[in-house]
Structure 1
Amino acid sequence: MKNSYFSFHWRSCIVLVAMLSILSCKKSDSAASKELSIVSFSPAEASEGASVVIKGIAFSDNRSLNTVKINNVIAAVTATAADGTELTITVPEDASTGKITVTVGDKTVSSATDLIVNPLAPVITAIAPYKGDIGTEVVITGNHFSTASEVYFGNIKATDVTFVGKTSLKAKVPAGVLNGKVKVKVATLEALSPTDFWVRPAITDILPEGAEENAIMEITGRNFSTVVNDNTVFFGPIPATVIGATAERLRVRVPIAAPNDFIKVVVKEQEAISALKFRLLPTLSSFSPEAVDRNGRVTITGKNLSGSEVYLNKVKLQVTYIDATTIEVQIPSDANNGNLVVRQGGLDFQFFTELRIVNFWKEHDLQASPVIYRQSSQFVYNGKVYFAFGYDNASTGALIWMTKVRSYDPINKKWKEEFDIPAKVPVRREHFSALIGNKWYFGGGDSPGGNGVDSWVMDLSQSGDGAFKQLTNLTKGTMGDRAFVLNNELYVAARAYEKQMLRLDPAANNGKGSWNAITPIDITVPILDGITTVGNKAYFLDGYSNFYEFDPTLPAITTKRSLPNGSYAVNSLIGFNGKCYCSDGNTFWEYTPAQNNWIIKGNAPPGELKTFMVGNRIFGFTFTGQVYEYIYQ
């Protein structure tokens, strides 16, 4: 019995030990299977703000009890699994590639592999300022910047970059930058600024350095705008028109009246100044006359002519007048045909039309007149030049009054006595004389008995005393009256201090006519010498150099440009082809009413020259009776 009890007790003890042993083993195995660990995570790569799921063992089902870091940067836990096998985290903004660690209590485990943290693509929303020089600090505003951000101006990397925060960078403009976008690069990701950064433009050259008005020239450099209207160009203070643009070249039109000055280019309110001054070259328009006598003068017109020299056949000509639009030059006595060259600043500008050198006055008949008519009257009738009245000097010096009217036929080169002055008509000198049709009007002047007041008309179709008819007397006798015809009406301009102009009304007083004063002659020197008509106006010289225009429609007398080098008692005036011509004893001048300007046509036969138009030819008579013909060019 005793043995039986002992046996049961021993066996019970063995069974109890065995059961305790089994329980102990199970408890050990369960503890080992709950050890904190990271099994995996996904995705393997992520960016800031992305979710990453971590699978493992022994995570806390309480989010706050799990501390997760990515390369030592804490990541927010957004979700957990109830069985402690899964965590969901958000990649923080400062995260970088590295191991994931999870800490629960005093236990920390790491992932076997790195989580690849990819940066977000940067974004640029603005740059300020949008323009500047090298070294200007530019603030770049945007997002997703990092300390590893690189900044480029165009293709040039900025070496001075400050990371302000993920939304702001500062960078200084590097050397060599051209206009273009600002770029921020983070790893392989990059962003471009919405607007260009504009660097101050620079001018490297102007081609050519000199040009004429309206010429097209080029400005080379850098940092110009490719938009034509974004570029403003100035020649000194004068704006120019830009007609083409690239970043390195502008095509502009030289403005009118551009000064010799620097060129300025303005782009986005930033200026560039050329190193060299632009030079406005002369523009040649014309020269006149195209044919000139030796010792004559030629007028060159154009623009920007000041400071120029003029050459003919490589001979420098004497400049007698010059301004910005006109050059007047003297032709040498030995000049020959050639092209005029205007030289300015070492550059030559040539007329393609040749200047012709001619002799305007040709010797026509050098045989002296049989009688010298001084202070006589002359008129042209039926192709001949008539000489009447006046005087000749006897060997004793006494005056010999002329009572015969003589004519000269220039075609046949013959002098002829035409008729005698009747005794009833007083002889005279320095008197008025004019022809209307076949009627020769004359009167006034100086007679042996004093200044005459009588006036006469002769019908040249008749002969004898009956051809002469006395008209109404002048209002006052004067010496040196001059007459002219406008619109078939006779005018007398009283010289010698009378300062009056009369017009004949031939039908008044039963055909004897009447002289009516129409306007005072308010001139500087009350002595008339040459007088002629051009169109419906009369022109006259006062015997020195003062020149006047009479308009019968007003009526009024206007002072015009004086005759250069005029001298008393040698002026002779004639109207032809809408212009006035005058000899001053040595020089033959041409006056153009539309321009109010005298120019030298060339030499004139020496001494006092009386000029007449016979048909369409001009002849000049000297006091010694020689005859010259003017060859009009």
Structure 2
Amino acid sequence: MKTIGKPFKVVAIAMTVLGVSIAGCKKDKDKATAQNDPSITSFSPAEAAIGNTVVISGKNFSQEKAENKVKFNGVAAVVSEAKTTELSVKVPEGAGNGKITVTVNDITATSATDFKVNASAPRVSGFDPAKGAAGVEVTITGERFSNQSKAFFGTLPATTTFVNTTTLKAVVPADVLTAKIRVTNGNLEALSAIDFIAPPRITGLSVDRAEEGQVITITGVNFSDNRENIEVAFGGGVATSAEIESCNSTAIVVKAPVAGKDGKIGVTANGLFVQSVNEFKYKATITEFSPKSGPKGTLVSLKGKRLGVGASIEINGIPATSFPYRAPDQTEIRFHIPTHASVVGDKIKLKSNNLEYLTAEPFVVTNVWKKLRDAVAGQYYEKGFMYVQNNEIFVGLGKNATGGLNNTYAKYSIANNTWSTPVAIPTIVTPRYDVSYATLGNRVFVIGGLISANSYKRDVDYLDLGDNTWRDAGLLPDNSGGGVAFVINNTLYAGLGNGAGARKIYQFDNTNLNWSEGEIVDLRSAGFINNSCFVLDNNAYIGHGKDVANNMKKAFFSFSGSGTTGPVADAKVVTDGAASFSYNGKGYVKAVHDLYEYNPTNDEWKLINSTDAIYVNYLTVVNNRIFGIGYNGEVYEYIP
């Protein structure tokens, strides 16, 4: 028996739990349903004659008049106006004292108090005019008026004149709202069947400037719930019905129309018109510009909408002054990039109607030196060495700001645009200036130099980038200062300069760490002190410089490593000590403020930049970017 009993006990418990769960679900469902049921919170007036209008307030009514079934003490009434929170109905024939009921979707709501039928109550049958502003006289018709009758527009009392028992005159009060007209006789009152339409008033705009299509909310009173009764005009340009997103008596949500104009916003509601106090202005919209890059003076086309009749344009804070074309419909402005020295590329700024707009991306000014950072206080490396490692640029040795010699180097981080605190170089390396330097594999060689005027050094040191250790690489066969160093065909060469080996170029044995005796080369009228040097296609191009008499030169020659030289076209100017670099198969020399380009294909030099008055002493290419560094730590980038 015990064995049989246990299953029944379990089933009973399970059924009990299930029953609780089902009951709980039903309660939740009933609660959710109740929230959507119709309910009556009040009605007005509390007593009225047959045929009078009664307004029933509540919630969850239907906006469709026919879906609301209203009864006065069981007698059906006709609904004349329907909102989800308010119904207007007339007291039906045969109605008696009792509760008012509203039935929606078979759910009935009942008033808390009784409605009373009072044949003595006044009745409003109509009024004329149907709409108007404050001060307009309205004729109210009806029944059972008296010299004690008072008219109200909504809740606002009106100056009332008794004409006879069927006619009153009332003056529309200030600040009138769209509402029913109410007439009182003592404690009895009557409501009009329809609302008196008051003129709209605009109290505010969510924004007073916007782009075409931007959503704006117009706030105010006496608007309409019906879009067909609303018209919105922006400076005379009317919004389409599609551009009016929603509306009610106190707010209109509208998209700034394409047809709109700057000016006051006008709203027509139920045939009555009003304008905003403040003017609305359209914002400009920039859609594109082209080209995206070019040198100073480039003609750029900026396109968009409502760009402005007298709009101005800036880049880097420098205004454009040349505007060859402005589209009459304000959809395009053509202008020249300013040629001012400060223009180095930035987003284009449009100034229109006291607002500023930036393009989404910058215009890249090419053939320009862009300053990345200012000088560093206390840092100064004149005629020292430079190398690149891990996207960082190092400079060291050379003269300091007082003419003494540095025994340190500093590191510039491209990513962070910062200089490190200078680091001491081991004493194995003699401080000096006018050195030659070059990188071969993971070794940075510092060659020759001076420790003072006419005191030349043969020292060759190198920094092993693998373990960051300085080592001795022997001596040059002859003293050298202000010479050149370069790598071609994976071989290091150095030479020239002011010393015993002034006209020689030496080859370095990287395995045995020794130098060849060197060969005298044909300088082809070039100088041999403080030359410029760059490498193209395993040929070193050497030139400029000066001779022992300090005569600066403009001749160049090429060196292929065989000891022989080849002729190269003369540069455009004479100079010495000019920094140089190679980029995309061409050579470049920065002679004071001017940048010259050498094209080996046609053996031709040309001046490509003379507008940027900057001076750099070290030039290098890192990840296809060209950097120039001044003695005092100023950093520039050249945008080719």
Question: Could you state the TM-score of these two structures normalised by the residue count of structure 1?
Answer: 0.41
Structure index of larger Rg? 1
Question: Could you state the TM-score of these two structures normalised by the residue count of structure 2?
Answer: 0.41
